[in-house]
Amino acid sequence: QSALTQPASVSGSPGQSITISCTGTSSDVGGYNYVSWYQQHPGKAPKLMIYDVSNRPSGVSDRFSGSKSDNTASLTISGLHAEDEADYYCSSYTSSSTPYVFGTGTKVTVL
Amino acid sequence: EVQLLESGGGLVQPGGSLRLSCAASGFTFRSYVMSWVRQAPGKGLQWVSSISGSGISTFYADSVKGRFTISRDNSKNTLYLQMNSLRAEDTAVYYCAKRQVGEYYFDYWGQGTLVTVSS
């Protein structure tokens, strides 16, 4: 099972909006509404930001939103804050031999 | 408050063994699927293994199948990962993670424990 494809890096200025893409196949992203997104600061554990494509857990800022079209999911961060600078990973359920697949990861830089 | 605390990491020689533990608290442990996810230095996340709440069903990534064994002790609220025949490519931070019921995402993660396989 290959990792989902994400851009290596995305950057934006404070207050701007950025979007991170996550491209898979019809066996994972495109086939199920089980896409999740995780934020990871250096040396820290991942934190769930979005689940089931577009749902936010309690406590996660509404500046974070998710969507999906065909085999590509997206995470949008609106009104970028300095503390949003982190690595972001998408994940999806997959019908392959392994039930979960993660994305390659995207480093978000706040300029 | 949900807490997951991993332990057992360290330096081990290639071909050696190590057992990781994850102590859970703040939720009804036996009701949830638990998993191990690893992250090699400077690399992305990789799912390793999952186990059902009862412990009856287990699942493994192809890269660890036959070498790693996941288990749990619901009386002690503890998750384990027995790692045998370790290879250099198993070097990573290992996280235990709780999966939400009926879903396919990890809502809580431990702080991780570092496993280094080197001679």
Please write the tens of the pLDDT for every residue from A2-37.
899 999 999 999 999 999 999 999 999 999 999 999
pLDDT surpassing 80 at residue B68: yes
Distance separating alpha carbons of residues A27 and A94, to the nearest angstrom? 6
Please write the tens of the pLDDT for every residue from A63-98.
999 999 999 999 999 999 999 999 999 999 999 888
Q: What is the DSSP string of chain A?
A: -PPBB--SEEEE-TT--EEEEEE--TTTTTT-S-EEEEEE-TTS--EEEEBTTTBPPTTS-TTEEEEEETTEEEEEE-S--GGG-EEEEEEEE-SSSSSEEEB--EEEEE-
Nearest to B106 among A3, A48, A52 (CB): A48
> In which order are the strands placed within the sheet that holds A72-77?
A18-23, A72-77, A64-69
Distance separating alpha carbons of residues A104 and A90, to the nearest angstrom? 8
Position B81 scores a pLDDT of 98
Tokens of B52: 């059902």
Test B104 with A48 for CB contact under 8 angstroms: no
Average confidence score pLDDT of chain B: 96
Nearest to B59 among A3, A89, A99 (CB): A99
Position A97 scores a pLDDT of 81
Position B89 scores a pLDDT of 97
Whether B107 and chain A come into contact, CB under 8 Å, resolves to: yes
Are B95 and B20 spatial neighbours (Cβ–Cβ below 8 Å)? no
pLDDT surpassing 80 at residue A1: no
Give the position of tokens 């990789």: B46
H or E element at residue B78:
strand B78-83
Residue A93's closest chain B neighbor by CA? Answer: B104
| Contacting residues of B for A51, CB less than 8 Å apart | 100, 103, 105, 107
What residues contact residue A79 under an 8 Å CB cut-off, 6+ apart?
A: A15, A16, A17, A63
Are A107 and A11 spatial neighbours (Cβ–Cβ below 8 Å)? no
Whether B52 and chain A come into contact, CB under 8 Å, resolves to: no
For residue A87, the distance in angstroms to the closest alpha carbon of chain B comes to 9
pLDDT tier at B101 (50, 70, 90 boundaries)? confident
Distance separating alpha carbons of residues B58 and A104, to the nearest angstrom? 25
Please write the tens of the pLDDT for every residue from B38-59.
999 999 999 999 999 999 999 9
Position B117 scores a pLDDT of 98
Estimate to the nearest angstrom the gap between the alpha carbon of A74 and the chain centroid.
6
Position B100 scores a pLDDT of 87
Nearest to A45 among B46, B95, B105 (CB): B95
Give the position of tokens 């099972």: A1
| Contacting residues of A for B100, CB less than 8 Å apart | 51
Position A98 scores a pLDDT of 85
Estimate to the nearest angstrom the gap between the alpha carbon of A92 and the chain centroid.
10
Position A82 scores a pLDDT of 96
